Structure 1
Amino acid sequence: MDRSTNLDVEELKMTREQYILATQQNNMPRMENAQLYPVGIYGWRKRCLYFFVLLLLVTMIVNLAMTIWILKVMDFTVDGMGNLRVTKKGIRLEGISEFLLPLYVKEIHSRKDSPLVLQSDRNVTVNARNRLGQLTGQLTVGADSVEAQCKRFEVRSSDDDRVLFSADEDEITIGAEKLKVTGMEGAVFGHSVETPHIRAEPSQDLRLESPTRSLIMEAPRGVQVSAAAGDFKATCRKELHLQSTEGEIYLNADTIRLGNLPTGSFTSSSSSNSRQTVYELCVCPNGKLYLSPAGVGSTCQSSSNICLWS
């Protein structure tokens, strides 16, 4: 019995050892049957990657070169670019500048030693608008004319800020001390003219003329016409009226001449001398003047032929 027991124990040990050996052999990898795969990029993929890296490097170099060339040509600096300089007071442009789009600024002025020139191939237009964007004033400088559209146009003196010229819908005011018209035809007025004084240049004649209509001068306190260093001459084609409703007509001169007066007839008992050289100035009831041969007494007759046929 002891011998059979020992045999069973030995068989059990052998079975256990076989099981352990079989299990270890199954867990061990079979190196002879395993395949090795390479790690990385090889072949055409590697060549494409190198090509794209090289292309990117060339593009970066060209871009950097173009940027440096643009900076050099445009003259970029810390203060600005080209003729444009950024200062504490604003933007400064030197030389000739061209704007293709609208320019919005608060103030434009030139240097102290140079003028400000605005130049355009067609015209230069300056617009002024209110807060709502509505156009309130416009100044257009064109090739043929200068136009200003505004409610009131003023020209002021630079010395005392006095208004020299102003125009609006109601009136035109000239504030200068002298209005000088240098045209050959003078000044032409379609309607009435109101002025306190009219005078000519020194050594020049003053002429008021109405070729086809009448010339009327009126004033509530009188009209004074004087020629201090020359003659005063009033000429008309038909009639010259001197009328005073409440005053008198005063002629004060060393010599008063009335030419081309008609001579009236005079009938008396004594015949007049054919060589009559002295005449008497007579006035008809209607105010017409005529000459009558002078005699011992007055020879003026209301029944003279001049008075009857006038």
Structure 2
Amino acid sequence: MLNVHRVVGFWTTGSRIENLRRLLREKATVRMTREQYILATQQNNLPKVENAQLYPVGIYGWRKRCLYFFVLLLLVTMIVNLAMTIWILKVMNFTVDGMGNLRVTKKGIRLEGISEFLLPLYVKEIHSRKDSPLVLQSDRNVTVNARNHMGQLTGQLTVGTEGAVFGHSVETPHIRAEPSQDLRLESPTRSLIMEAPRGVQVRAAAGDFKATCRKELHLQSTEGEIFLNADTIRLGNLPTGSFSSSPSSSSTRQTVYELCVCPNGKLYLSPAGLGSTCQFSSSVCLWS
């Protein structure tokens, strides 16, 4: 019994070893087959040496030179552009607050020094510092226009060599000339009217006051009087009437005259006599 079991156990062990060897041989065979398949596949994919053609990859020849030229030109352009930008910033004096004499503040735009405008300037308000005057200067005329919301011209001020020219009415509390200069108010083609609710005062402290017109000069006071206060009041170029009380008086030169007034307010002179002679020279009023 003991021998039988030993033979059976030995046989069983031998069969296991044989199975193990067979499995190893099968795995080796499968591995060799796989390697051969992979090797054969790689050999089929590789191009044949005798039929292979080499193609260059990249840019060569004149295309390469043109590309380098354009790259160099672009680099030079960028450098010149950067240099010009820096030069403009330096010349125009650009800063965080503005440029040159121009400063941008919370209250608006501030100009320091002398500034020149080549195109029209549209602003709401212009004023200078408290300790300096505001000067507007031009080689020709300085024109200031005022327009309404529709764009229509409502007022115009033009300063030229002859003075200031106003296109419409002007409201101002005071008009004066520079020291040692004459003040002249003139309207070449229209009427010149000065009016105020509490009166108009014309004063020449160190010179003469002269009012001339081509047609009529009206001095009108609706609720008061016209007061002329001077040492001498002269009315020139008044018409003179004719009156002769006696034949002998006509031969003598008349030196004394009487000032007469027509019903329409016209003034004329009449030769003075013992009494009033205005009624005898009233024919002057008929031609007025």
Deviation at 1:272, TM superposition (A): 4.3
Change (3 A) 1:250 1:60: closer
Structure with greater helix percent: 2
1:5 aligns with 2:18: yes
Q: Summarize deviations over 1:239-269 as a string: whole Å, max 9, x none.
A: 1111122211111110111111110122546
Deviation at 1:296, TM superposition (A): 1.5
> Within 2, Cα distance between the matches of 1:213 and 1:28?
108
Q: Is the contact between residue 79 and residue 86 of structure 1 (CA under 8 Å) also seen in structure 2?
A: yes
Q: Summarize deviations over 1:247-299 as a string: whole Å, max 9, x none.
A: 11111110111111110122546854530111111111111100111112211
> Within 2, Cα distance between the matches of 1:47 and 1:118?
61
Matches within 5 A, 1:57-136: none
Change (3 A) 1:129 1:246: closer
Change (3 A) 1:205 1:97: closer
Q: Summarize deviations over 1:123-177 as a string: whole Å, max 9, x none.
A: 99999999999999999999xxxxxxxxxxxxxxxxxxxxxxxxxxxxxxxxxxx
> Within 2, Cα distance between the matches of 1:71 and 1:214?
55
> Within 1, Cα distance between the matches of 2:279 and 2:213?
29
> Within 2, Cα distance between the matches of 1:22 and 1:261?
141
Q: Summarize deviations over 1:54-84 as a string: whole Å, max 9, x none.
A: 9999999999999999999999999999999
Change (3 A) 1:215 1:72: closer
Change (3 A) 1:34 1:213: closer
Dislocated runs of 4+, deviation >4 Å? 2-7, 10-142, 269-273
Matches within 5 A, 1:38-53: none
Sequence identity of aligned pairs in percent? 92
- TM-score normalized by the length of structure 2: 0.44
Q: Is the contact between residue 157 and residue 165 of structure 2 (CA under 8 Å) also seen in structure 1?
A: no
Q: Is the contact between residue 280 and residue 293 of structure 1 (CA under 8 Å) also seen in structure 2?
A: yes
Alignment RMSD: 14.0
The SS at the match of 2:172 is coil
Number of aligned residue pairs: give it. Answer: 265
Q: Is the contact between residue 265 and residue 304 of structure 1 (CA under 8 Å) also seen in structure 2?
A: no
- TM-score normalized by the length of structure 1: 0.41
Q: Is the contact between residue 129 and residue 136 of structure 1 (CA under 8 Å) also seen in structure 2?
A: yes
Q: Summarize deviations over 1:162-204 as a string: whole Å, max 9, x none.
A: xxxxxxxxxxxxxxxxxxxxxxx32221111110000011101
Q: Is the contact between residue 281 and residue 292 of structure 1 (CA under 8 Å) also seen in structure 2?
A: yes
Q: Summarize deviations over 1:197-240 as a string: whole Å, max 9, x none.
A: 00011101011111111111110001100001100000111111
Q: Summarize deviations over 1:29-49 as a string: whole Å, max 9, x none.
A: 999999999999999999999
1:293 aligns with 2:266: no
